[in-house]
Amino acid sequence: MVKVFINGYGNIGRRLASALTKDKEISLIGIAKYTIDEEKLKNLKNRFDVYVPENLVRKYKNSVSGSIREAVSESDLVLDAGKEGDGYSNKIKLYKPMGKPAIFQGGEERHGDKAVAEMIHNSRVNYHDASGKQYIIQGSCNVSGMGKIMQPLIEKFGDEIQRFDVTLVRRWADLEDSKEVKDSIQWDKNPHHQEDVKDFIPHAKLYVEAFKVPSRMMHLHQMVVRFHSKTPSKDQILDVFTKEFAVAILNSAKGTADVRMKAIQLGFEHGDTNMVHIHQDILRVQDETLKIVYSDDQTGLVIPENHLLLQSMIMRRPRSEAIRKTDGLFRISEKKRILEKEFG
Ligand SMILES: NC(=O)c1ccc[n+]([C@@H]2O[C@H](COP(=O)([O-])OP(=O)(O)OC[C@H]3O[C@@H](n4cnc5c(N)ncnc54)[C@H](OP(=O)(O)O)[C@@H]3O)[C@@H](O)[C@H]2O)c1
């Protein structure tokens, strides 16, 4: 059994925790809480062992299992799922001195003074490179989604592709967030996604623009792929993705909310589809240009990615076996079939 501690229990941490409690190969040591009160603790401690910063242990001693430092020292691996940017100090103060491997989330830095890791993982591209490594960033939802679409196209059409231009339309907040959704379309002067994707697909000519819109319902990407000569047909493009893990092909959704609300209505855990959804009704090919539009389950996509990554890092498992395990836990192939039927 691999002993895992989840440091950070927000939108990502709570999903990681629900998944790992169902994995018989994992012993979940517990979760970290930084902001607490007795009411929150009462609900949480029925499900997990809760660990808090050292200065809060005495105050909540009847409800918590110990300090975050103690939990890290007991673990074989830490899943760091804290607020963007906290990963670096966690690494310096806790993980590195104790020699504990850690997976960081996509909001952490890959380059510069606050870099937490030497690689960004995308299960479709560099799963095996993660084997045995100490510190890795799991790419953000947008970065993970782009890898899932670009890599199959590159494998199939290779040098025929000239460049990728991607416009990311990003949700303002997650459904569970209490923060206000501002009525504005906000641009990003320097989207990190372009460099992040190039970390694992270095040779692609990729240009990314990102716009945040007042929505809580998923991200939508429009990927424009320029070929050197005539683009393959629509059917040839869709063929590339029919058997892709965690990529669904939908035909009749009218917007991202349709997909999210359907996932909730179908009782998918946390309302997650855990995948990207190509919207084939607006897939366009003309001359040397292909336009693919896909929605990206911002909160759910990276959870199976973290699960795959830990199987490479800690268990050193072959990718095909890891995919089988992850699929069993998250029912991704089954969900893909259901969604493709619902939006057929
Ligand atoms: N939300 C998404 O759709 C999404 C998708 C992909 C990747 N990510 C990435 O995943 C990470 C987490 O995002 P999120 O949306 O889950 O954030 P979130 O909902 O804001 O949760 C962050 C959590 O961090 C905890 N925290 C506070 N200080 C901490 C520390 N020093 N170390 C560890 N945790 C600490 C907070 O705990 P308390 O509640 O106890 O204060 C909070 O629950 C970010 O890097 C983000 O970029 C997010």
pLDDT for 142-185, tens place per residue?
999 999 999 999 999 999 999 999 999 999 999 999 999 999 99
Residue nearest to atom 4 of ligand 1 (CA): 299
Across the chain, mean pLDDT equals 97
Residue nearest to atom 45 of ligand 1 (CA): 107
Residue 38 has pLDDT above 90, yes or no: no
Q: Give the pLDDT band of residue 256 (cuts 50, 70, 90).
A: very high
Smallest CA-to-CA distance from 113 within 138, 88, 93 is with 88
Residue nearest to atom 29 of ligand 1 (CA): 82
Residue nearest to atom 21 of ligand 1 (CA): 10
**Residue 103 in contact with residue 31, Cβ under 8 Å?**
no
Q: How far is the CA of 190 from the centre of ligand 1 (A)?
A: 22
Q: How far is the CA of 84 from the centre of ligand 1 (A)?
A: 6
Which ligand 1 atom minimizes the distance to the CA of 298?
Answer: 3
Q: What is the pLDDT of residue 296?
A: 98
Q: How far is the CA of 182 from the centre of ligand 1 (A)?
A: 20
Residue 39 has pLDDT above 90, yes or no: no
Q: How far is the CA of 281 from the centre of ligand 1 (A)?
A: 35
When pLDDT is averaged across residues 57-73 and rounded to a whole number, the result is 95
Q: Give the pLDDT band of residue 40 (cuts 50, 70, 90).
A: confident
Residue nearest to atom 10 of ligand 1 (CA): 105
Residue 195 has pLDDT above 90, yes or no: yes
Residue 216 has pLDDT above 90, yes or no: yes
Alpha carbon distance, N-terminus to C-terminus of the chain: 41
Output the 3-class SS for the chain: CEEEEEECCCHHHHHHHHHHHCCCCEEEEEEECCCCCHHHHHHHHCCCCEEECHHHHCCCCCCCCEEHHHHHHHCCEEEECCCCCCHHHHHHHHHHHHCCCEEECCCCECCCCCECCCCEECCCCCHHHHCCCCEEEECCHHHHHHHHHHHHHHHHHHHHEEEEEEEEEEECCCCCCCCCCCCCCEECCCCCHHHHHHHHCCCCCEEEEEEEECCCCCEEEEEEEEECCCCCCHHHHHHHHCCCCCEEEECCCCCHHHHHHHHHHCCCHHHCCCCEEEEHHHCEEECCEEEEEEEECCCCCHHHHHHHHHHHHCCCCCHHHHHHHHHHHHCHHHHHHHHHHHCC
Which ligand 1 atom minimizes the distance to the CA of 176?
Answer: 19
Q: How far is the CA of 146 from the centre of ligand 1 (A)?
A: 22
Q: Distance (Å, rounded) from C-alpha 16 to C-alpha 306?
A: 8
Residue entry with tokens 């229990």? 9
Q: Distance (Å, rounded) from C-alpha 50 to C-alpha 314?
A: 24
Q: Give the pLDDT band of residue 73 (cuts 50, 70, 90).
A: very high
Q: How far is the CA of 87 from the centre of ligand 1 (A)?
A: 10
Residue 22 has pLDDT above 90, yes or no: yes
**pTM: predicted TM-score of the whole model, two decimal places:** 0.97
Q: How far is the CA of 85 from the centre of ligand 1 (A)?
A: 9
Q: How far is the CA of 251 from the centre of ligand 1 (A)?
A: 33
Residue to probe by mutation, ligand 1, list 9, 11, 33, 108, most atoms within 8 Å of CB? 11
Residue nearest to atom 30 of ligand 1 (CA): 82
Let me know if 76 is exposed, middle or buried by CB neighbors in 10 A (0-12, 13-18, 19+). middle
Q: Distance (Å, rounded) from C-alpha 148 to C-alpha 248?
A: 11
Let me know if 117 is exposed, middle or buried by CB neighbors in 10 A (0-12, 13-18, 19+). buried
pLDDT for 265-318, tens place per residue?
999 999 999 999 999 999 999 999 999 999 999 999 999 999 999 999 999 999
**Residue 272 in contact with residue 15, Cβ under 8 Å?**
yes
Q: How far is the CA of 10 from the centre of ligand 1 (A)?
A: 5
Residue 277 CB partners (closer than 8 Å, separation 6+): 247, 248, 249, 250, 253, 259, 294, 295, 297, 339, 343
Within 6 A (CB) of ligand 1 lie 7-13, 32-35, 81-84, 86, 90, 105-108, 140-141, 174, 298-299, 302
